[in-house]
């Protein structure tokens, strides 16, 4: 007699949730700790990974060194410098250096020619 055929349909989202719920701990403040050391804020808007990186619900990623990377590729440094994905940089004093090498001061006057 042949073995009976067994067909299983697995919902991938349900499986993911099941696996993540194993070892999950709800803390007194409402935050959730996962087995790998990840901490999810009580309002579920911030995920702190074991390496110290904070991921925000709006797509921002904060690194332990103070850098913030925005979803559009813009990088904000702790010193106030901004670097856009096209290579344009804005310095804390308000001056801007474009990807083509041109530099303008905070008032919009070109510094180099």
Give the model confidence (pLDDT) of 27-65 as tens digits.
899 998 988 888 989 998 899 999 999 999 898 999 999
Find the domain containing 104 and state its range.
72-113
Asked if the model's pLDDT at residue 24 lies above 70, the reply is: yes
User: Do 50 and 29 fall within a single domain?
Assistant: yes
Q: What is the pLDDT of residues 7-16, one digit of tens each?
A: 667 677 776 6
- pTM of the entire predicted model: 0.70
Asked if the model's pLDDT at residue 19 lies above 90, the reply is: no
User: Do 77 and 96 fall within a single domain?
Assistant: yes
Residues pairing with 102 in the sheet: none
> Mean pLDDT of all residues in the chain?
87
CB 64, CB 73: distance < 8 Å: no
Within a domain: 5: no
Q: Quick one: pLDDT at residue 62? A: 96
Q: Quick one: pLDDT at residue 16? A: 63
CB 100, CB 109: distance < 8 Å: no
Within a domain: 47: yes
What's the domain count of the chain? 2
User: Do 81 and 113 fall within a single domain?
Assistant: yes
Q: Quick one: pLDDT at residue 34? A: 86
Within a domain: 80: yes
Which residue do the tokens 């041109």 mark?
102
**How far is residue 65's CA from residue 9's CA, in Å, rounded to a whole number?**
45
């Amino acid at each position: 007699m042949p073995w009976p055929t067994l067909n299983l349909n697995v919902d991938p989202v349900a499986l993911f949730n099941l696996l993540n719920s194993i070892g999950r701990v709800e803390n007194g403040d409402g935050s959730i700790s996962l087995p790998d050391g990840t901490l999810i804020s009580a309002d579920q808007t911030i995920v702190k990974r074991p390496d110290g990186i904070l991921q925000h619900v709006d797509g921002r990623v904060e690194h332990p060194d103070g850098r913030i990377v925005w979803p559009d590729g813009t990088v904000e440094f702790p010193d106030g410098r901004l670097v856009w994905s096209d290579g344009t940089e804005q310095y804390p004093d308000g001056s801007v250096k474009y990807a083509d090498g041109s530099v303008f001061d905070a008032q919009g006057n070109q510094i180099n020619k």
